[in-house]
Every structure is written in C-alpha cells, then in structure tokens.
Amino acid sequence: KNEVEQSPQNLTAQEGEFITINCSYSVGISALHWLQQHPGGGIVSLFMLSSGKKKHGRLIATINIQEKHSSLHITASHPRDSAVYICGVQGAQKLVFGQGTRLTINP
Amino acid sequence: DAGVTQSPTHLIKTRGQHVTLRCSPISGHKSVSWYQQVLGQGPQFIFQYYEKEERGRGNFPDRFSARQFPNYSSELNVNALLLGDSALYLCASSLWSGSGFKTEAFFGQGTRLTVV
C-alpha cells in the first residue's frame, strides 16, 4: 500500500462544477502539500498546511490530522483548472507524493 | 526575484552515458531537493541537501549522486544511464531547518531526460 493515496485518479467535469480531490496518508507528517502540474511538467505549489483549512481564491484545502486525510476543493471550476493535482506529505527531509489526480474541466 | 531554475530543460542521452543536471534555488533558500517523476506517476524523492551536506536519500541506486555548492546551487549526476532513467527530474528549494521544512517547496520547471 502506498504511503499516499489520492482519489479519484481521473476526474472530468463541466465548467462551473464544484470539484473535490481527496488525499489519504498512512504515515506521521509535519505538513501536507498540494501541488498543481500542467502539461509540460511545471509544478506550482498551491498549499502547505498542517491543520485546519486554507483558501486561495477559488481553491480550498482542508486537513484532518486525526483521520490522516486532506481534501482539495475547487469552486466554480474553469477549463484553465485542468491539470494534474498532486498531494505530498512532508517528513523531516523529504516529501512523499501521491500519484496525482488528472482533472479535466470541459467548457 | 527569480524562481528555481533548472538546466537543461530537455536532454537526450544514450544508454551507458553520464548526465549532469543543474539547479539554482531561490535566493535565500539553503535546501535543495531532487525528485524523479516517471510519466503517469507522482515525483519520487532522490536527495535532499542542506548547507552543502546530504540530509536525505531516497531509494535510488548508487549511480545517482548529487552535491551542493557554496552558493547553494546543486547538481544531480547519473552514471551508466538506463532506459528506465528516462523521466522528468525536478528540483525544489525551500527554507529548511534541521527539524523540517519552514516553507512550502518551490519547484523548478524540470529537466526532461530521455535515454535511448
């Protein structure tokens, strides 16, 4: 079993829909990261959080440390949100990543 | 301020050759980490360097090595290349203390290595 599991692996939705991507992990962590990767490979860090909830624009990330679970939500989704979203959990020296969720938003 | 820069952006090598990938961190960041991302998978941790010392190593063979220079830039070296080394190699910089990351990791655009 992987240390970090994301679901779903692939998600297709219509523009305007509310999107939820889930991340579960099995190890103790100091923080959790959500990253966005567009075609071509460039990675952008969206959130780093260790408790509660963070919000940037239409993006919201939550984490439940006791349940070892985090969610990334996108409100009013747009085709430009189409990307791979990667969850990473932070140990002392390294990040361990999930396999990513490929999100496609159709106009 | 420039972000994390990696060079080259693309590279094609033949099996058995050696490759050197380079990374310049964000100014002020003393920690550099390297990750390998094979198509369709999440990044896998290779190395972390802080203050020119190796602080962490992932499950990669000894063909992989790295170093960090006094200006905190870093090189990743891979010897005796195999077809399976074809991947996107990502460098990330962050503020890091001995007990963990102080900021999120900032990633470069990556070097896409193709081994033929």
Higher local confidence (pLDDT), A19 or A90:
A19
Chain B residue nearest residue A36, CA to CA: B107
pLDDT at A58 over 70: yes
* Tokens 């939550």 found at: A62
B48: β partners: B33, B56
Residue B10 confidence (pLDDT): 94
**Three-state SS annotation for chain B:** CCCCEEECCEEEECCCCCEEEEEECCCCCCEEEEEEECCCCCCEEEEEEECCEEEEECCCCCCEEEEECCCCCEEEEECCCCHHHCEEEEEEEECEECCEECCCCEECCCEEEEEC
Residues B95-108 have a mean pLDDT of 73
Q: Report, as an integer, the average pLDDT of B66-90.
A: 96
| pLDDT for residue A1 is more than 70 | no
Q: In terms of Cα–Cα distance, which of B35, B25, B87, B75 is closest to B56?
A: B35
Chain A residue numbers touching B46 (CB-CB < 8 A)? none
**pLDDT value at position A62?**
97
Q: Which of A42-51, A97-106, B5-14 has the lowest mean pLDDT?
A: A42-51
A99 interfaces chain B, CB cutoff of 8 Å: yes
List the single range of A91-105, B50-64, B98-112 with lowest mean pLDDT. Answer: B98-112
| The pLDDT of residue B111 | 95
Say whether pLDDT at B1 is over 60: no
Count CA atoms closer than 13 A to B106's CA, side-chain side: 21
Instruction: Please tell me the distance from the alpha carbon of residue B100 to that of residue B62, in angstroms, as a whole number.
Output: 25
A56 contact B CB<8A: no
Average pLDDT over residues A36-53: 87
